Amino acid sequence: MFTGPTDFAYLPRDAVATVRSEGGGRFALPATRARRALPPRYGPVSGVPVEVRGAGRMTRQVNNFCTPEAFEADSMIACEVLTPGGNWSSYPPHKHDHAGPGESELEEIYLFEVAPSPSGEPGVAYHRVSASDERPVDVLAEVRSGDVVLVPYGWHGPSMAAPGYDLYYLNVMAGPGAERAWKITDDPALAWVRGTWDGAATDPRLPVGGGGA
């Protein structure tokens, strides 16, 4: 996960599968509610679009393996984000909690992994979720490998990688809308930071690994 994207498999609803590995491993099995049963498919790493997003200390890598433009699914939108130590991602904070013009209605989960230090000490990172309307949510969480943060609604971000500890997270989103799309609204208090990326250098530690164009 810290060396780039990987192959993946898509299973339709109501499918049954067995996962085996001679060398062992850890497997993420995200799922969303589906209206259609699409055919099962194999997604090779060569077809995964790799995007370097942001600039400076806001540079991160997004592996868009199951986004609407990259792979057909019924409702699931999923990607991987790699944030080098000392950088911020999911920034500026944004939301997608109301179906309406210019914004999707999507619930989201973040599954975190934090790379250990050179001596093997476990790493730590931080993640923020806050209210965008009258519904209460106020989370500033210390996250470690294996932790999950749920985002049912509200502003979410930043995800903060502590210096010296690279941060990975798997994003999985889905919602009730007929259109499978990731349309967001930036927090108006912080939307200006996107303008600072223009002409700024990206972090030279990225991209890592292979993938598609």
Are 160 and 142 a contacting pair, CB within 8 Å? no
* pLDDT tens per residue across span 27-84: 889 999 998 999 999 999 999 999 999 999 999 999 999 999 999 999 999 999 999 9
Give the count of domains, the chain.
1
pLDDT the model gives residue 26: 82
Asked if the structure places residue 143 within a domain, the reply is yes
Phi, psi (deg, nearest 5) at residue 187: -60, 115
Whether 30 maps to a domain, the answer reads no
- Domain assignment present for residue 175? The answer is yes
> Does residue 26 sit within a domain?
no
Structure confidence by residue, pLDDT tens digits, 146-201: 999 999 999 999 999 999 999 999 999 999 988 999 999 999 999 999 999 999 99
Confidence of residue 210 (pLDDT cuts 50, 70, 90): confident
CB 180 within 8 A of CB 72: no
CATH number of the domain at 177, please: 2.60.120.10
Domain presence at residue 78: yes
Q: Is residue 184 part of a domain?
A: yes
pLDDT tops 80 at residue 212: no
127 found inside a domain: yes
139 assigned to some structural domain: yes
pLDDT of res. 143: 98
Residue 124 predicted with pLDDT over 70: yes
Residues 6+ apart with CB under 8 A from 86: 57, 161, 162, 163, 164
Query: Using 50, 70 and 90 to split pLDDT, how confident is the model at 213?
Result: low
**What global pTM score does this model have?**
0.93
Domain residues for 158?
42-196
